[in-house]
Chain A
Amino acid sequence: MTPNIKDKQPRDVEIAVFQYAVAIVFLWLLTGFWELQVRDPEFYEARAARNSVKSLPVLAPRGKILDREGRILVDNLPSFHAVLSIDDLNPDNYQLIAEGLSLADGDIEARVRQAKEEQGPEYLKVTIKEHLSEAEIAFLEAHRVELREVELVLSQRRLYPRGGVGAHVLGYVGEISERELNQHDFVLYKSGTEIGKSGIERQYENALRGADGSRLVLVDSRSRRIRDLDLVEPVAGQNLRLTLDADLQAVAELALEGRRGAVVALDPNNGELLVVTSSPAFDLNKLIGGISRADWGRVLADPDKPLLNRATQAQRAPGSIFKPIVGLAAVAAGAVDPDFKVLCKGGATFYDRYFRCHTAAGHGWVNLESAMVHSCDVYFYTIGHEVGIDKIAEYARIAGFGDVTHVDLPAEERGLLPSSSWKIRYYRDKWYAGETISVAIGQGALTVTPLQAAYALGGLAAGGVWHRPHLLSYDQRKRIDPDFERPEPSRLDIEPKHLDALIRGLRGVITEGTGARAALPGYDVCGKTGTAQRVSRRFAENNTDPRYFDDAWFVGFAPCVEPEIMVTALWENGEHGPMAGPIVRDVIKAYFDKKRRRAWDRATQPPRPPTPGDPSNLSAASLEAER
């Protein structure tokens, strides 16, 4: 070491060390750039692109739902969602937003958390409320400056121009649930998506949905749009024209109002459903924009189960409306002749047990026709006993009982058609002949849905041809699903003599029997009443709870020969089958009134040019004009 630094003695060693240190440090820095820019640039280029290029959905408008005459049942209306931009998130504002949009405490936090989980750390936007009301939009407009993070995004909402008509059939849309996200059908869906939850909306979700488009957008670090890079146009959902008749549907709903029950009307010649209604119903318009949790809980807890579509999901004993099927089984299987007579003395004993007829006085000598007219139980006990449970089950199955009708609605129930093999399979026990006696009058283990009843008796009325009930015409089905194959109707050759006896009996029900309330002057109407016990007679006598009252059923069709319309009404706990008659009568009357008016119009007005052939492509404007 040089002791005196004042001499001109440069610190050569130290300076050389410094020079080498600088060189090493610079090389070290350069390796940093080498690693990022030369060795692995694609990774960071992709990261940079992911930063700045975002794919935003362009929502496809959902298809409209129309009735058979092209009248709009479900429409779309522009609507706004409130969307939170994550980059500008300010938790201090949550309180204000929650108040302005009437959200519950913690709702926003929950949605943000969920979005973080799903979209990862690069998540962009969270929808905090769908379908804002006018007041909520006004609130956001007024707080534009403070709440920079909240944006209004245009979307569509469902509109029901005919109010609550057909609520159960049409179904509703709502945000996809956690459970649905895990289902196979929704494997490609993202949370927050609005999907069909029930009814036609659910059944034809794929066709109605269309395909959302997307927009590739160049955004800056605050997610502001710089410019569009690419646009994939959305494909609008397909409009569906149902076989329902809005007029008949409204008549049926009015007739059923205030009661629990269901009405189904169909054209037995092709299976097209004209009316499918269930009561009590829910107001579709109230479900849009997200029903509050409390209200929804009330709907779910309602003992009247308004969400249940009783037309396809109520499984109740059919009572006497099953008798035509038993009669068919007995004569078709050759167990008895239509002229076979039974003496009714107000009851009869089978297998040491006394079975009562519904009138203690008895019906005297009855054959198939008159037993049907007066719904004589003793006659049907007897022929049921003669033909046996397995023949009854065989013919009832041909008529569609005990299985789904494959109607195009979700979650259809199949009812229960008992037989000896069913008994062995489910109870490991043999069938006791006494059980047949109950089934012969539509009681016992037997349960059916109103749709099954309409299908079964409609096919019988049509002379033994059962066309599958459906809400979307087969032509349209084929268009939305090329793999769809038109199902063949199931057929049964019924001897004209047998059919004639059955029809005469069903006509007599209206003209002189239990179904007089469904009579329609000037029209040839057939029908059958049904009063189905809910519980054993002894239990019912000691119990005044209306829920144990008998169910009232009525099936009716017109004209009696070559029928055009078949109507089934179920009035739960309506006590007496005949009481359901007026409901059926109203629908049949409305059908013929319409038909007559149309014939009148055609006769008095010059012919109009034919309407465009493709109903699913009708624009709203042309539909308006058509009305």
Chain B
Amino acid sequence: MRHESAIKDFDWPLMALAFLISGLGVLEIYSAAGATAWQDAYLRQIFWVALGFVLLWISSGVDYHWLVGQSPAFYGVTIAGLLAVWAFGPTINGSQRWLPVFGGFNLQVSEFAKVVLVLLVARLFSELPKGGLKVVGLLKGGAIFCVPWLLVLRQPDLSTSLSYVPIFGIGVLLGGLRWKYVSIGVLVALLMLPLVWRSLEPYQQSRLTTFMDPEQDPRGEGYQSLQSKIAVGAGGIWGQGFARGSQTQLRFLPVPHTDFVFAAYAEETGFVGVTLALTLYFALLMRIVHNAQTASDSQGMLVCMGVAALLLFHIVVNVGMVVNKMPVTGIPLPLMSYGGSSTLTTFLLLGLVNNVRMRRFAN
């Protein structure tokens, strides 16, 4: 007998955490984008968050086993979507990332591909032969993974394509890969680094070098990271106050409502606010991991861990960038950065986690 989903089985702590973090995000978007062309962005973000909760609720109604089972079909649709982006997507700021859809909205297919990849990885690595993952299985999974990865990389969108790696990585790890293979893989990756460096575009290389020393070119490439660092530091312990950070309000901080929303938040709420937000994120990740531990099967566990790994990657890269511990990339902060595709994707992912949670007593 299948346990029927019910509202009372929802993962309410997870939802409360998502709601709180989204609330902080909306407030900071309101503060940072006030009196600019983006002054209505917080209203749209409220809409995205609300829509996200609806999507979460709807997607929770469909058993994740069915979703995992259908993942090859979703995968096909995603590849088709990415090819359509390649074929029809307009080139904005030198890259092809969006597919124009109804009502003037641009759909970022590579964002929704994350959901599909989480499901697909759960499927691939939950059906393994005896003795754990073998090289052949790894290569097969790698090949399936590489297709969307390369399609996103060529847009070009290095940071989104990189965000796929932890989904695959966690699947490989939990799928039973021997530690021997892991160490070989790490070694190979290290040896490949110079090659990767050479294949990077000059702007990507200069981002990495200025990341090492942002003062070397304070008006150019290093400008964003330097201004971010100044904003964070100016926040001090208690912060400059809501809507009162000079770096944010006078727009020295670049894109303070999207990629650098956490720098703006750090300037206005200080170390206290940062600690609160990071605690919420930590609790959210731990809650997802807890759901992985209590999942009724390995598919559910893999789904949850895939989501956790993906969110962790986003948080580390984005927040790390804000404090200059990571190079400047265009990775949004889940739930806080303004943006429809990113917000909806995050809620879909949380919906999967909730889905697993609701069905933890099944079978």
Q: Does B264 contact A (CB under 8 A)?
A: no
Q: Which of B305-332 contact A (CB under 8 A)?
A: 305, 308-309, 312, 315-316, 319-320, 323-325
Q: Are A220 and B251 in contact (CB under 8 A)?
A: yes
Known: A5-B176, A25-B312, A51-B252. A36 touches B229 (CB 8 A): yes
Q: Which of A1-26 contact B (CB under 8 A)?
A: 1-6, 8-12, 14-15, 18-19, 22-23, 25-26
Q: Which residues of A contact B125 (CB under 8 A)?
A: 5
Sample 11 A-B pairs with CB under 8 A, ordered by A number: A2-B176, A5-B176, A22-B285, A32-B323, A33-B232, A36-B232, A37-B235, A41-B233, A44-B229, A45-B233, A48-B230
8 Å CB contact of A45 from B218, B236, B274, B293: B236
Closest beta carbon of chain A to B83's beta carbon, Å: 33
Q: Which residues of B contact A26 (CB under 8 A)?
A: 278, 281-282
Q: Are A3 and B286 in contact (CB under 8 A)?
A: no
Q: Are A28 and B325 in contact (CB under 8 A)?
A: yes
Q: Which of A198-235 contact B (CB under 8 A)?
A: 218-222, 226
8 Å CB contact of B236 from A6, A32, A41: A41
Q: Does B128 contact A (CB under 8 A)?
A: yes
Q: Are A11 and B301 in contact (CB under 8 A)?
A: yes
Q: Are B246 and A37 in contact (CB under 8 A)?
A: no
A14 and B297 alpha carbons, distance in the complex (Å) = 16
**How would residues 41 to 57 of chain A score, 1 for a CB under 8 Å from any chain B CB and 0 otherwise?**
10111011101100000
A26 and B229 alpha carbons, distance in the complex (Å) = 18
Known: A30-B274, A37-B235, A37-B270. A226 touches B320 (CB 8 A): no
Q: Which of A5, A22, A26, A45 has the most CB of B within 10 A?
A: A5
Q: Does A29 contact B (CB under 8 A)?
A: yes
A487 and B232 alpha carbons, distance in the complex (Å) = 64
8 Å CB contact of A51 from B230, B285, B320, B325: B230
Known: A47-B233, A52-B252. A121 touches B218 (CB 8 A): yes
A318 and B174 alpha carbons, distance in the complex (Å) = 108
Main secondary structure of the interface of B (DSSP, over half): helix
**How would residues 39 to 61 of chain B score, 1 for a CB under 8 Å from any chain A CB and 0 otherwise?**
00000000000000000000000
Q: Are B233 and A34 in contact (CB under 8 A)?
A: no
Q: Which residues of B contact A37 (CB under 8 A)?
A: 232-233, 235-237, 266, 270-271, 274
Q: Does A301 contact B (CB under 8 A)?
A: no
Known: A19-B289, A34-B271, A37-B236. A8 touches B296 (CB 8 A): yes
Q: Does A188 contact B (CB under 8 A)?
A: no
Q: Does A40 contact B (CB under 8 A)?
A: yes
Size category of the B interface is: 35 or more
Q: Does A38 contact B (CB under 8 A)?
A: yes
The 9 A-B pairs of least Cβ separation, nearest first, read A44-B233, A32-B323, A48-B234, A41-B236, A36-B233, A220-B250, A37-B271, A221-B252, A221-B251
Q: Does B130 contact A (CB under 8 A)?
A: yes
Q: Which residues of A contact B319 (CB under 8 A)?
A: 29, 32
Closest beta carbon of chain B to A451's beta carbon, Å: 55
Q: Does B292 contact A (CB under 8 A)?
A: yes
Q: Which residues of A contact B175 (CB under 8 A)?
A: 5
A34: nearest chain-B partner, CB-CB: B271
A30 and B315 alpha carbons, distance in the complex (Å) = 12
A52 and B130 alpha carbons, distance in the complex (Å) = 64
Q: Are A36 and B293 in contact (CB under 8 A)?
A: no
Q: Are A219 and B234 in contact (CB under 8 A)?
A: no
Q: Are B131 and A3 in contact (CB under 8 A)?
A: yes
8 Å CB contact of B250 from A45, A122, A218: A218
Q: Which of B198-225 contact A (CB under 8 A)?
A: 218-219
Q: Which of B166-182 contact A (CB under 8 A)?
A: 170, 173-176, 178
Q: Does B275 contact A (CB under 8 A)?
A: yes
A22 and B247 alpha carbons, distance in the complex (Å) = 30
Q: Which of B116-132 contact A (CB under 8 A)?
A: 125-128, 130-132
Known: A25-B316, A49-B246. A44 touches B232 (CB 8 A): yes
Q: Which residues of B contact A1 (CB under 8 A)?
A: 132, 176, 178
8 Å CB contact of A30 from B131, B250, B278, B301: B278
Q: Does B231 contact A (CB under 8 A)?
A: yes
Closest beta carbon of chain B to A112's beta carbon, Å: 12
A121 and B218 alpha carbons, distance in the complex (Å) = 7
A220: nearest chain-B partner, CB-CB: B250
Q: Does B335 contact A (CB under 8 A)?
A: no
Q: Does B341 contact A (CB under 8 A)?
A: no
A219: nearest chain-B partner, CB-CB: B250
**How would residues 120 to 147 of chain A score, 1 for a CB under 8 Å from any chain B CB and 0 otherwise?**
0110000000000000000000000000
Q: Does B106 contact A (CB under 8 A)?
A: no
Q: Does B32 contact A (CB under 8 A)?
A: no
**How would residues 249 to 291 of chain B score, 1 for a CB under 8 Å from any chain A CB and 0 otherwise?**
0111000000000000010001100110010011001100100
Q: Are B312 and A22 in contact (CB under 8 A)?
A: yes
Closest beta carbon of chain B to A9's beta carbon, Å: 8
A40 and B292 alpha carbons, distance in the complex (Å) = 40
Q: Which residues of B contact A219 (CB under 8 A)?
A: 250
**How would residues 235 to 248 of chain B score, 1 for a CB under 8 Å from any chain A CB and 0 otherwise?**
11100000000110
A45 and B127 alpha carbons, distance in the complex (Å) = 55
Q: Does B358 contact A (CB under 8 A)?
A: no
Known: A30-B275, A52-B246. A18 touches B289 (CB 8 A): yes
Q: Are B301 and A10 in contact (CB under 8 A)?
A: yes
Q: Which residues of A contact B234 (CB under 8 A)?
A: 41, 44-45, 47-48
Q: Which residues of B contact A52 (CB under 8 A)?
A: 246-247, 250, 252
Q: Does B159 contact A (CB under 8 A)?
A: no
Closest beta carbon of chain A to B208's beta carbon, Å: 18
Known: A18-B308, A49-B246, A51-B247. A38 touches B316 (CB 8 A): no
- Besides A18-B289, A25-B312, A33-B266, 13 more A-B contacts (Cβ < 8 Å) are A6-B126, A10-B295, A14-B173, A15-B174, A29-B323, A30-B275, A32-B323, A32-B324, A37-B235, A37-B271, A47-B234, A48-B234, A51-B250
A220 and B292 alpha carbons, distance in the complex (Å) = 48
Q: Which residues of A contact B236 (CB under 8 A)?
A: 37-38, 41, 45
Q: Are B237 and A41 in contact (CB under 8 A)?
A: yes
Q: Which residues of A contact B293 (CB under 8 A)?
A: 10, 12, 15
Closest beta carbon of chain A to B54's beta carbon, Å: 29
Q: Which residues of B contact A8 (CB under 8 A)?
A: 296-298
Q: Which of B128-165 contact A (CB under 8 A)?
A: 128, 130-132
Q: Which residues of B contact A36 (CB under 8 A)?
A: 229, 232-233, 323
A14 and B304 alpha carbons, distance in the complex (Å) = 13
B234: nearest chain-A partner, CB-CB: A48
A379 and B281 alpha carbons, distance in the complex (Å) = 112
Closest beta carbon of chain B to A450's beta carbon, Å: 57
Q: Which residues of B contact A30 (CB under 8 A)?
A: 274-275, 278
